[in-house]
Amino acid sequence: MNAADIIVKMVKDRWQGNLKNFNTALDSLTDEQLQAEISPGRNRGVYLIGHLMAVHDDMLVLLNLGEKQHPEFHTLFLTSPDKSTLLPDAKELRELWRRHSQVVNQKIDAMKADEWFAKHTAVSDEDFSHEPHRNKLNILLTRTTHLAYHTGQFVLLTKNLKEAS
């Protein structure tokens, strides 16, 4: 295992570990529970699922792995705050999320270790020559900490609602 393989494994393990944490919480929640706010006045579970899908869709483009799966989610879950638009229902979002994660992971797993150190699609050749950390692996890394941030919020739905029931 060379250095590139090792570091790519480290970041991919974190990505998968955080996805697993999110999915464990998701699987424990009913569709109705996903309509609850993570804390009074804050985002609902359904919004967080869509928000993560929108961010992971952007990631596909940055990694040069193809088109977005749900381009309409950009407006719904990135530029519009929760409770300002009509969202897909929880049952549908849950199924879309499952399929989306599969697609993203298949594409990520097909990448060779060296490809991860190439520039992502939003940085110029010129800038990349001075800033070689702006590579594809850094995109996966920043999206992993973003996922962890919202997973910390999403799990709040599970215990609160268990206690209330």
For a copy of itself, the binding residues (CB under 8 A) are 1, 3-4, 6-7, 9-11, 13-14, 17-18, 38-42, 117, 132-133, 135, 137-138, 141-142, 144-146, 148-153, 156, 159-160, 163
Q: Hunting for tokens 């993203």 — which residue is that?
A: 104
Q: Which of 106, 116, 91, 119 is nearest to 33 (CA)?
A: 91
State which residue, 72 or 114, has the beta carbon closest to a copy of itself: 114
Least distance in Å: CB of 161 to a copy of itself? Answer: 11
Least distance in Å: CB of 71 to a copy of itself? Answer: 26
Round to whole Å and give the CA distance between 68 and 74: 10
- As beta bridge partners, residue 37 has 44
30 phi/psi in degrees, rounded to 5:
-80, 165
Which two tokens mark 100? 């989306």
Least distance in Å: CB of 72 to a copy of itself? Answer: 25
Q: How many CB atoms lie within 10 A of CB 131?
A: 13
State which residue, 68 or 146, has the beta carbon closest to a copy of itself: 146
State which residue, 27 or 163, has the beta carbon closest to a copy of itself: 163
Q: Hunting for tokens 């359904």 — which residue is that?
A: 46
Least distance in Å: CB of 101 to a copy of itself? Answer: 17
